[in-house]
Each structure stands twice: as structure tokens, then as C-alpha cells.
Amino acid sequence: MPLVLATTTPGEPEIFASLQGEGPSQGKSCAFVRLSRCNLACQWCDTAYTWRFTGDNRPHRSEATYERKATQVTRGAAAVAALITALGQPRLVVTGGEPLLQAPALARMLALLPAGIAVEVETNGTVAPPPALDALVAQYNVSPKLAHSGNPAELALVPERLGEWAANSRAAFKFVIAEAADVVEALALGKRYAIPRERIWLMAEGTDTETLHAREGWLAQLCLDYRLTLSKRLHIELHGDTRGT
């Protein structure tokens, strides 16, 4: 089964080199591959083109929908691995959508990469990685979706999954924050699942620098108060809200 990828332009898979903009690896030189499809629907999602296709009525603040043929493409594992290898980066970030929905095909692709490439997978935390994939991943960036995402808690916050991620030392937790109440919710989840605070990042929600800077202004103090780590959205500051960056 091939991988289903997002596109930068119709027919062109979203595989590129850039600096990681968020979380523990922020600022590091990476290759990126963005997979298509997601099992959640965040109302503020900045990659809605990976899931909100024409006919999908799940809520999103922009109300835009995307033609599947223009925003989704399939490629075999070997072809994807070759494109990533050609970028020559020491680290690969697998993002989405929700990459773990395609775990078997993803594992086949990762197994074809040259030795020494560190792989990190960005996930919403609702899907468990199977052993064949897990063995190839150095880091998971787990971003549980809080109430302001608009997802029902029973879909977005699966206790069994969150417990497993909390027990996984390779998992960093990145919470998207729009207002102070979101920090309270994130702290409650951290306490419930015994997530070490050094593995929790708080990141302002926003797709423009003005919004990000305004929220980071008060979020930075909360990170200081609760001994948490602030994550920037470096790619937004450098490139704006654009694909392939």
C-alpha cells in the first residue's frame, strides 16, 4: 500500500527541507514529509488541506474545503524514501494530518532510509504506533487536543493512549494554547497522567506573528511560573503560513 501525502502544489508531494519550527527540536535542520488524512478536526488547524476535503462538514473556522485531487497524492515507499534521502538532512520529521493512521506504509518507507537519520513523528496522541514502526522512531511529538480544538474529549483524549505516551521517554508533549484556561487544562492532564514537566511544551496558537507574539507575551510568564517550556512557531515567523516550510 502506498503512502498518501499532502501536496505543495497539485501532484507534488509535500516533502521539503527546513528548520524544525516547534517543540524539542526547534531550530534543527530537518527533512519533512507531510502525510494526508486525520481522525480529528481541530477548528483552528493550519493544515486543514490534509483532511477537510469537499463534502467534509467537520467544523473549521475558515469554512474552506479542498479538492482531494489537488491536495492529496500517493507515492510508493521507495519513491518517498528517495526524495527524503536526496534532501541530505540528518533528521526527518513526519507530520500530517495524523501520520500514525498510515503506520504500516510509513514503517516500510522509514526502513529504506539511510542509517543515521533520526526520525521524529508528530501525532495527536490518539493512535498507538505498532512495533515495526516504533522501532524506527527516535522521538514522538505528541500534541493532545484540548477543549478549544472543538474535538469531543472522548475522541481526542484517549486515556489508554495518553497513559502509554506518558510512560514513553521518547514522547514530548506539545499543547496548543489560545488562552490561559488552556494552560489549566494542560496542567491537569499532565498531573493525571504523571507527565514530567520537562517533557511538556506550551505553544501559542496562531498563524501570524502578531497573534503569536501577543499570546507568547503572557504564555512565557506561565511557563516560568509552572516550570514548563515555551515552544515558538519558528516557521511562521520565518515563512508565514505557507506549505512546504
Q: Which segments in the chain show pLDDT lower than 50?
A: none
Structural fold of domain 3-174: TIM Barrel (3.20.20)
Residue corresponding to grid cell 505553544: 203
Whole-model pTM over 0.85 = yes
Q: Which of 69, 63, 54 is nearest to 6 (CA)?
A: 69
Tell me the one-letter amino acid at 75.
R
The reported pLDDT for the residue numbered 1 is 87
* Pure H helices in 21-144: 68-71, 77-86, 103-110, 131-134
Where do the domains of the chain lie? 3-174
Q: Which of 139, 88, 85 is nearest to 110 (CA)?
A: 85
The reported pLDDT for the residue numbered 232 is 97
Strand partners, 31: 17, 92
Q: How far is the C-alpha of 192 from the C-alpha of 140, rounded, in Å? A: 20
